[in-house]
A and B are shown apart, each in its own frame.
Chain A
Amino acid sequence: MNARRKEIDWEEVRARLRQGEMALERVSAPDPQKVEAVYRRRAAQLAGRPARAGAVSPPLSVLAFSLGEERYGIELTALAEVAPFAGCTPLPGASPEALGVVNARGEVRPVVDLARLIGLPEGGASGHVLFLRREGAGLRVGRVEEVRQVRPEELTAPGEGGVDLPIRCVKGLVPKTLILLDIEAILEHPIFREVLA
């Protein structure tokens, strides 16, 4: 047994156990200094907001999400809601881009696979659905990541970035590899006429 190799010190074991219990108690009742630090940081963030409001041009709020290998973005103003994608009812006879319909709070809404729409290979099983404010259609995307503030002057024209996309769908490129999609152009696609008819 282990005892034969190294004599166990039961006193030390008991001390270690007591320390563990005390640590657990500390976690249950947080340190007042730590709580204070969190509060201060949040207050600082809130206080900094008016300074940004006085900028030359208002920044665009963009929802960033992954699609295949790339990261894309859509302006928040174009969106109505974000929901986890949990499957949908397929529409018989529809184009392959149209995944089907889902029930969102009692309303039937069509869902289109954005990856196929812009000519990318089909995405994985998990992901999110972005419901558009206009028309109410849903776009199935990869994982939604964050909301970013993008300054319009930072955008690069599509031709300059060399992105391999239907050029009319791209509104511009943001530094740090974000492709901002033009939702108006996307809605021009005939599939929306088909699913919304």
Chain B
Amino acid sequence: MNVTIGQKILIGFGVVVALTLGLGWYGLSKLAEVREITFAVVDRDFKAMESLREIGASRDAMKVLRERALNVHLLRRAGLTDQDPTPFQEAWFRDQERTQGMLAELEAFCAERERAGLSPQRGVQWGRLRQTVRETQEALKESAVENRLQFDLMRRGDLSQVIARREALERLRQTFDDRVDSGARLVQELLEGGKLLVASAHEEAKFSTLVALAVVVALGIAASLMIQRSIARPLATFMQFVERVGQGDLTGRAAVSGNGDELGRLGQGLNEMVAGLKEVAGQTRAVTGNLNSAAAEILASTQQQAASAAEQVAAVQQTTTTVEEITQSGAQVSERARQVATASEATVTASQAGMQAVRDINRAMEAIREQAEAVAENIVALSERTQAVGEIVATVRDIAEQSNLLALNAAIEAAAAGEQGRSFSVVAGEMKNLADQARDATVQVRTILEEIQRGINSSVMLTEEAVKRVEGGRQQVGVAEGTIGQMAGSIQEGVQTFQQIVAAVNQQQIGFEQVTQALKNISLATEQTASGTRQLERAAADLNALGQQLQKSVERYRT
């Protein structure tokens, strides 16, 4: 779950504010409850008390009315007045009716409160009040009956009786008063009870509000602790890590909290920073090491250079000597090259004579080839003659064959002639013999002709071979001619080369003199180099010391 620190703080404040709001709402609701109870107690109890007070006042008015009615009767009786007492009596009855109504109303009110009291105890008290009101009503009714009786007695003028019955009336009135007083006491008790009720409601509200306050405070502290834990602990870790880094320890890694809040990013940033520092420190260390070794190498090579500068001076002197020797031997080389060039010119003349001889050989070979070809043509002509002979022989053989047939037919004719043809048959037989001999001779001649033809063929082939070999000889002679020509050309080039060598050696002599002068300059410059090298050596030593100081300062970082 990715919750940033800002979101965490916002959530904590939100929780605290919500708890505070709830606590305020709860206290206000408790206050309203207490006010309701107070209002209920004050309204109802005071209403009952007022009602009882009016009832008392009404009873006092009724007493005054009865007294005045009695007085009027007494005065009429004494003849001191002719005032009619009836209106007072009637007024008394009206008051009695009214009081009766008020009592009934009070009783109904008490019955209602008894059913819906704020507490069971107040219900019981209200019940007792209702009972007292009922008894007051009873007393009032009895009083009404007694008064009606006394008024009748007054009207009839029986005052003594009236006075006699005053005791009873007084008793009834006493009872009524008692009841009203006890009702007033009950109302007083109700008031006391209401005060207790209000006090207890107040206590309860106070207690529960305090409990809620404690819960809110506890929750606020818990939220603050959680936020503090999630921020301050990683921060402390990071602080330790950063202190270690400050002391040069780059080996550790900041603990990166898993969720991607600001601290996680801070940890990642610290890690990357330390990695970068580590790399920089490592590189710096490596570079410093390289620098030190390089400074040492520079120092060493500067020392070597100083030594080699001295060697160089010696070598330059040796070189000068050698160059002088070379100059002398160059003159000898020039003389030898001139001799060789002269000898090479003689060789060129000889090779030209060789070329001429080779050309003569070539012409002779050509003549041989032409004669061999003539021989071949002659032989071929002979072969053609042989073919003509063969044709003649074939003709002779045909003639022999026909002669044979002729002899046979002659024999047949002779046989047909019978005895007369006998000698003719002998001639026919001779003819046949001759024809046979001629045929045999042609066979022999043919055999000989074939042998001659074979001999001619092999002769032609041998001649062809000879012509080919002569041609090969011509080619080889041509190769020899080319070789001799190349040789003559290269000898000619050699002559030119030697002439160039002579010229070059002369130039070389001049160059060697310049070299000798230059070597003297080099010797001078080498001595200057030696002095410069000593300065360089001192500078390299300084550089070496600086590199070691740098390495010490870098080694403070442990990677």
B contact patch SS: helix
CB within 8 Å: A-B pair count? 48
* CB nearest neighbor in A for B401: A84
Chain A residues within 8 Å of B405, by CB: 82-84, 128, 144
- Closest Cβ of chain B to A62, distance in Å, is 10
Taking CB atoms and an 8 Å cut-off, the chain A residues in 33-69 that contact chain B are 42, 45-46, 49, 53, 61, 63
* CB nearest neighbor in B for A76: B415
**Is A133 in contact with B426, judged by CB distance below 8 angstroms?**
no
- Which single member of B416, B422, B423, B429 contacts A147 (CB below 8 Å)? B429
The CA of A128 and the CA of B414, in the complex, are separated in Å by 20
* CB nearest neighbor in B for A79: B412
The CA of A75 and the CA of B418, in the complex, are separated in Å by 12
Chain A residues within 8 Å of B403, by CB: none
Cβ-based interface call for A122 (8 A): no
Knowing A77-B415, A133-B416, say if A144 contacts B426 (CB, 8 Å): no
The CA of A83 and the CA of B432, in the complex, are separated in Å by 15
Chain A residues within 8 Å of B409, by CB: 81-82
**Is A82 in contact with B430, judged by CB distance below 8 angstroms?**
no
Chain A residues within 8 Å of B416, by CB: 76-77, 80, 133
Count residues of B near A (Cβ-Cβ below 8 Å). 19
| Binary contact readout B391-416 vs A (1 if CB under 8 angstroms, 0 otherwise) | 00000000000000100110110111
The CA of A65 and the CA of B466, in the complex, are separated in Å by 54
The CA of A1 and the CA of B470, in the complex, are separated in Å by 10
Cβ-based interface call for A146 (8 A): yes
Chain B residues within 8 Å of A81, by CB: 409, 412
- Closest Cβ of chain A to B389, distance in Å, is 12
Chain B residues within 8 Å of A76, by CB: 411-412, 414-416
- Which single member of B408, B411, B426, B432 contacts A49 (CB below 8 Å)? B426
**Is A147 in contact with B432, judged by CB distance below 8 angstroms?**
yes
The CA of A70 and the CA of B412, in the complex, are separated in Å by 22
| Binary contact readout B518-533 vs A (1 if CB under 8 angstroms, 0 otherwise) | 0000000000000000
The CA of A2 and the CA of B466, in the complex, are separated in Å by 10
**Is B469 in contact with A49, judged by CB distance below 8 angstroms?**
no
The CA of A10 and the CA of B415, in the complex, are separated in Å by 62
17 A–B contacts from the bound complex (CB under 8 Å): A1-B466, A45-B426, A53-B422, A61-B425, A63-B412, A75-B415, A76-B415, A76-B416, A79-B412, A80-B412, A80-B416, A81-B409, A82-B405, A82-B412, A84-B405, A133-B416, A147-B425
The 7 closest A-B pairs by CB, nearest first: A76-B415, A82-B408, A147-B411, A79-B412, A61-B415, A77-B415, A76-B412
Residues of B whose CB lies within 8 Å of any CB of A are 405, 408-409, 411-412, 414-416, 422-423, 425-426, 428-430, 432, 462, 466, 469
